[in-house]
Amino acid sequence: MSHVFPASLQAPRSRLSSNGPELSRIVAGMWRIGEWNMSAQQRLAFIEQCLALGVSSFDHADIYGDYSAEGLFGEALALQPGLRDKMELVSKCGIKLLSPHRPGHAIQHYDTSAAHITSSVEHTLRQLHTDRLDLLLIHRPDPLMDFDEISGAFTQLKAAGKVLHFGVSNFSRHQFECLHRRFPLVTNQVEFSPLHVAPLFDETFDGLQDVGVAPMIWSPLAGGRLFQGGDANVENLRNVIKQIADQLQRPFASVVFAWIMQLPCRPLPLTGTGRIEAVAVAVEGTQFTLSRSDWFAILRAARGHEVA
């Protein structure tokens, strides 16, 4: 099915840090690609539709889809290898799942050893049918992580040209800064939405803004919980967002994406959808800015109380 969006609907580009890569401001998350029930040709068509909207950055992880998501994307990309140079590929490593695909894993755990980081990258490159990643993230903080060892692995992967830039995901401000002092990180991918505002108040965003690093945002729509059900607080939040969306004559989700992108740390939100219309709605969030009072009306509803 082909969709025609206005030519003006284009995601702008955004640099993650002064020495970091330029990504599309909206990043297409591939976590659920296995649930979209698409043929390789349909996956390729979706990738091409994203690129037409200026959404050129695709977010992966080795474990997504029980270790199958990267392969599904790579299979589609192999149908049109020339597209690789028009996109940025992001992946993550450092979690070992219990899986029939990984019979050697006896317990679900983290592994940020240099050996695991390196072997994960090799596997990801094969799965994605590419010779390089634009960005590699450590997926979760690991109690056994050795910052110097991780830094050494990053240095070697960069020297080999296999990974161009490095970051982390779900790290606290302190964890980020410990590794960043040893090796320049370009992002921290964290959960943030009107239903999860902790990074505003736990120094995550302040710390990143301070060092000039933009976060990436997973679950910006709270996994869809903003759209349905929930308690009285969620209901009230939904009504506040809907009221603002109606006044601005913008889609509900566009308002949420705009609210997130208004933060001065310049976040790059991820989509999680296989529907190109929903990607377009996210891109529309890059086209307007909320008034400060509308922005705080959403925060107030999100927190359930006034700012003091």
CB 218 within 8 A of CB 191: yes
Token pair, residue 183, equals 């090796």
User: In angstroms, how far is CA 32 from the centroid of its own chain?
Assistant: 13
Backbone torsion region of residue 222, taken as left when φ is above 0, otherwise alpha when ψ lies between -120 and 50, otherwise beta? left
Concatenated DSSP letters for 51-77?
A: HHTT--EEE--TTHHHHTHHHHHHHHH
- Altogether, the residues listed in the chain come to a count of 308
Q: Which of 64, 176, 257, 259 is catalytic?
A: 64
110 has catalytic annotation? no
Q: Between the CA atoms of 109, 207, 223 and 297, what dihedral angle is there, to the nearest 10 degrees?
A: 160
Token pair, residue 174, equals 């302190």
Whole-angstrom distance, CA of residue 193 vs CA of residue 218: 8
Enumerate residues 6+ apart whose C-beta is below 8 A from 139.
Answer: 61, 63, 92, 93, 94, 95, 169, 170
Angle at CA of residue 84, ends 82 and 50, nearest 5°: 100
What are the catalytic residues? Answer: 64
